[in-house]
Amino acid sequence: MKLPIPKLKKSGLRWADGAVVYQIYPRSFQDSNGDGIGDIPGIISRLDYLKELGVSALWLSPFYPSPMADFGYDVADYHGVDPMFGTLDDFKELLQKAHALDIKIIIDIVPNHSSDEHQWFIESSKSRDNEYSDWYVWKDPLGFEGGFPVPPNNWLDLFAGKSAWEWVEARQQFYLHTFHVRQPDLNWHNPQVRKAMLDMLRYWLEMGVDGFRVDAVPFMGKDPEYRDEPANPHYVNGRDNPYHSLQHIYSGYTDEHYTYLGMMADVLKERAFRGRKRFMITEGYTERIDPVSEYLRYYKSMDPEVAAPFIFEGIQLPWEPHVWHDFLGEFHKTLEEFSPKALASYAFGNHDQWRLVTRIGEERARSAAVLKLTLPGVIFVYYGEELGMHNVEIPKDKVQDPGAAGDIQYGQGRDPERTPMQWSADEHAGFSDGKDTWLPLSPDYKEHNVAGEEAKPNSSLNLYRRLVNLRQSEPTLTHGNFRMHSSKGHPLMAYSRNFGKESMLVLINFSDKPTTYGLSNSGHILVSSLNLPTQPEPVQGTIPLQAHEALVIRIDK
């Protein structure tokens, strides 16, 4: 009997359903000119690797002209490319070559702040009455103590944990910097700023980019009264960044930023860009009080057809079955009820967070790869995650990250998760043929690299390739719904993805002991996190799982 072919949920506007987005931190992916810093021509030279891995899209962390006070997240010109990374023509070539391989490109948008070297800020700093004077957040001092101006409130900067206000003599006023002192916050209350930022999105869409990742969104809207923030009772002095001594309820996370995000998402829907698919993902860490509701608020503020917030549970939840069981069950039920268009968007690592393997260990990270690549929606792979790259210890004199100032415990900031990609056992891991690299390489790169892992059938890289390929080729994984099957409290989590009459079952053993699962029908194992079968293995009845093993099983029809 011929089974009916399941109907695909077609979306005219977006490419992100089931997509695998690979995040490139341009400084650390591939150096093409021997200066020890990765660049855009380097990325172009590695497109074949990315095609082989099977990714749908690349997200590039910022490549804009920048004094690099925060390695590019301090943008001095939203419309160009820093010479360190190449030229605008290099970027256009990357777009064209990636598109020829059917790989989309999304770029990083930094709307909350610019560099202090941006022309807007240079002008804005000069006086209180010029064209750009109201483009940043300027405030009068509360008064003067001992001749020194007193900041307008108690807000803190996230990098150094000191006052977020910096005095400018020429204006006799403070400007606000939620991040580094060289990253002044833009004034989104000003319609001219909003227009400039939305026009900037149009500029890149017209060039051909396929969407955006939007940085640090909760801070775009500030309390209009600029009230003092209350103390955080959970703060531990001497352990935590002093920034966390306050509850950030006025410096960010206000109602306004949702409105601004809605405006940004609407640009993607404009008539001029119809006919090309696109998507936008926003970076807003939840306050962890009620994550599902907090995420839903983002879904409600942007058209879910073209935008979604990052879901950071892959970074923030401990690797424990009951928390994952609860979150996935509740979140996907809520999302389905809200809108069939709403798309989940999972990251398990990025340039600001400890690497997955370092957080949960190698065996668990392989199970987490099975989880990630079988979840609904769009998922992200941080460069090197597919190799099982781990955090690298950075000697004190080599630390680069300005955020290290607030990293009381380790003093290394985010450098350990930003070290150069490990391509081969050659000098500098094939990342650069220069004298030195901007951050040191992992000491284990000779054992752990792309060339070596390609040759090992059960390597992390080959597990990722198998899983990415499965996700891209199975409509069940691309478009299927999500149903939790296991019961709370069991060390094994079981869920299925279902599409028409097809069903894929995923089993994840969170325990360091073997366990079993009773299958009511028969099926075929397509992937095990421990051992990649050369062909589907038939199973029925009681299925044994090794410690930390995860399985993907196609249920027989």
Catalogue the active-site residues: 215, 283
Task: State the minimum distance, in angstroms, from the CB of residue 109 to Ca ion.
Answer: 23
Which is closer to Ca ion, CB of 440 or CB of 500? Answer: 440
Task: State the minimum distance, in angstroms, from the CB of residue 367 to Ca ion.
Answer: 36
Task: State the minimum distance, in angstroms, from the CB of residue 57 to Ca ion.
Answer: 23
Question: Would you call 325 helix, strand, or coil by DSSP?
Answer: helix
Task: State the minimum distance, in angstroms, from the CB of residue 37 to Ca ion.
Answer: 4
Three-class DSSP labels, 23-71: EECHHHCCCCCCCCCCCHHHHHHCHHHHHHHCCCEEEECCCCCCCCCCC
Which is closer to Ca ion, CB of 37 or CB of 404? Answer: 37
Which is closer to Ca ion, CB of 33 or CB of 546? Answer: 33
Helix-then-strand count for the chain, H and E? 14, 19
Other Cβ atoms less than 10 A from the Cβ of 224: the count is 10
Task: State the minimum distance, in angstroms, from the CB of residue 198 to Ca ion.
Answer: 32
Which is closer to Ca ion, CB of 33 or CB of 358? Answer: 33
Which is closer to Ca ion, CB of 33 or CB of 462? Answer: 33
Tokens of 471: 């996700």
The distance of Cα 324 from the centroid of its chain, to the nearest Å, equals 19
Report the site for Ca ion in 12-71 (rule: CB under 5 A). Answer: 31, 33, 35, 37, 39
Task: State the minimum distance, in angstroms, from the CB of residue 82 to Ca ion.
Answer: 11
Residue type, 275: G
* Residue 275 falls in which region: left (phi positive, over 0), alpha (psi -120 to 50) or beta: left
CB 404 within 8 A of CB 2: no
Question: Would you call 329 helix, strand, or coil by DSSP?
Answer: helix
> 219: part of which helix (H) or strand (E)?
none
Q: Give strand pairing partners of 543.
A: 517
Task: State the minimum distance, in angstroms, from the CB of residue 35 to Ca ion.
Answer: 4
The rounded distance, in Å, linking the Cα atoms of 339 and 343 is 9
The reply to whether 82 sits near Ca ion by the rule CB under 5 A is no
Question: Would you call 524 helix, strand, or coil by DSSP?
Answer: strand
Tokens of 66: 């920048």
* Residue 548 falls in which region: left (phi positive, over 0), alpha (psi -120 to 50) or beta: left
Q: Give strand pairing partners of 58.
A: 22, 105
Q: Compute CA distances 232 → 229, 236, 247, 250, whole Å.
A: 9, 9, 5, 13
Which is closer to Ca ion, CB of 88 or CB of 100? Answer: 88
The rounded distance, in Å, linking the Cα atoms of 443 and 212 is 34
Which is closer to Ca ion, CB of 25 or CB of 299? Answer: 25
Report residue 495: phi and psi, to 5°. Answer: -145, 160
The rounded distance, in Å, linking the Cα atoms of 450 and 430 is 10
How many residues belong to the site for Ca ion (CB under 5 A)? 5
Which is closer to Ca ion, CB of 33 or CB of 259? Answer: 33
> 364: part of which helix (H) or strand (E)?
helix 362-373
Closest by CA position to 472, among listed 379, 409, 390:
379
Task: State the minimum distance, in angstroms, from the CB of residue 39 to Ca ion.
Answer: 4
The reply to whether 358 sits near Ca ion by the rule CB under 5 A is no
Q: Compute CA distances 315 → 179, 318, 372, whole Å.
A: 21, 8, 11
The reply to whether 386 sits near Ca ion by the rule CB under 5 A is no
The reply to whether 371 sits near Ca ion by the rule CB under 5 A is no
Sole residue written with tokens 């020829």: 100
Residue type, 211: G
Report the site for Ca ion in 484-543 (rule: CB under 5 A). Answer: none
Which is closer to Ca ion, CB of 49 or CB of 273? Answer: 49
Closest-by-Cβ residue to Ca ion is 39
The rounded distance, in Å, linking the Cα atoms of 103 and 92 is 14
The reply to whether 453 sits near Ca ion by the rule CB under 5 A is no
Sequence length of the chain is 557
Task: State the minimum distance, in angstroms, from the CB of residue 239 to Ca ion.
Answer: 38
> Which residues in this chain contact Ca ion in the complex, by CB under 5 A?
31, 33, 35, 37, 39
